[in-house]
Amino acid sequence: MHPDRLPLRHFLLALAVVAVWGTNFVVIRLALDHLPPLAFATLRFFFALVPAVFFLPRPQASWRNLAAYGVLIGAGQFGLLYLAMRHDIAPGLASLVIQLQVFFTIGLAMALTHERVQPFQLLALLLAVAGIVLIGLHTDASAARGGTTTGLGLVMILLAALAWAGGNTVSRRAGRIDMLAYMVWSSLFAVLPLAALSLAFEGWPAIESGLRAADATTWAAVLWQSIGNTLFGYAAFGWLLSRHPAATIAPMSLLVPVFGMAASFVWLGEPLPPWKLVAAALVIGGLALNVLWPRLAPRVATLFGPTAWRQR
């Protein structure tokens, strides 16, 4: 098998994963119609933890590492994401902006391990930042379901992306481990702070009211988050990464905001004015350049000469 070619069934599996991850933002928005954001996040990680924790052995990672990852991904990434998506950002834009975690991850790696930034990464970052600036220029005072975004919503999603990048940095330090078991066991440290924050800031009356109002769609959304997004998504993606080069699998994640924006347009009627499409093109273009350039550079060098196109 050629290392750069995926068998059709593996390609379809990867496509299913990114479709789940992309449409997941619409699912989040539906559940937030009834559940308070932090209570919803608590339920998401609780059902990712139970009952799987009784069947999967603890991964070979320290408790400290598991705790750091759980707090960063749970309270940091998804706590902020759910808070922003309730009133302050549309699902399609959220699926796009949070992908800036790629550049935050690179920045953290540079700060902590002194990795050197490459020229193509700077250009990629500039493209993505231009897209975010364009979104910032179109923020509104309020954002309705399926509408635009507020300045607060944009900031919260950027902070969620930073927390995600922190989680990536922590998980890399855990080494080569069972990622499914890692997600399950780290969920313990997501549930506890999220439950405490929900009780402190949302209060039991709001939580109880949300649970009473929750219908079949709400609970399906919770389980989709826990089983579809977390357990299936991470397990399948990890399985693919264990069988194919990362350079073959990683570019598939570029489709997440494409699925996210398309699903929000179809199911929630999120507007797609020209400025939003241009912003999406800039951000996705920056992500694509960052992911694909290391593979394309040798071919470009072959065509145009290594001196002009070499990576520094």
Q: What is the dihedral of CA 144, 148, 152, 156, to 10 degrees?
A: 100
Report pLDDT for 289.
87
For residue 146, what pLDDT is reported? Answer: 45
| pLDDT in the model for residue 147 | 54
pLDDT at 4: 53
Q: Compute CA distances 252 → 24, 62, 194, 264, 277, whole Å.
A: 16, 31, 31, 20, 20
- What would you measure as the largest C-alpha separation in the chain, in angstroms? 67
Q: How would DSSP label each residue in 74-107?
A: IIIIIHHHHHHHHHTB-HHHHHHHGGGHHHHHHH
Q: Write down the pLDDT at residue 5.
A: 67
* Angstrom distance (rounded) from CA 264 to CA 145: 10
pLDDT of residue 163: 95
Q: How far apart are CA 294 and CA 118, in angstroms?
A: 10
pTM of the predicted model, to two decimals? Answer: 0.86
The ranges assigned to domains in the chain are 8-309
C-beta separation of 41 from 74 below 8 A? yes
pLDDT at site 299: 67
Q: What is the mean pLDDT of each run of 10 residues along the chain (312 residues)?
A: 67 91 93 96 95 93 95 94 93 92 84 76 89 86 58 94 90 84 94 97 96 95 90 81 71 86 92 91 89 73 57 49
What sections of 32-62 are H helices per DSSP? 37-49
pLDDT of residue 304: 64
Q: Are 283 and 127 in contact (CB under 8 A)?
A: yes
Nearest to 136 by CA among 146, 128, 144: 128
Query: What is residue 116's predicted lDDT score, i.e. its pLDDT?
Result: 75
CA–CA distance, 115 with 107 (Å, rounded to integer): 9
Helices (H), 148-273: 151-173, 179-186, 188-197, 203-213, 216-223, 233-243, 246-249, 256-263
Output the CA torsion 157→160→165→171 (10° steps). Answer: -150
What span, in angstroms and rounded, lies between the C-alpha atoms of 150 and 29? 16
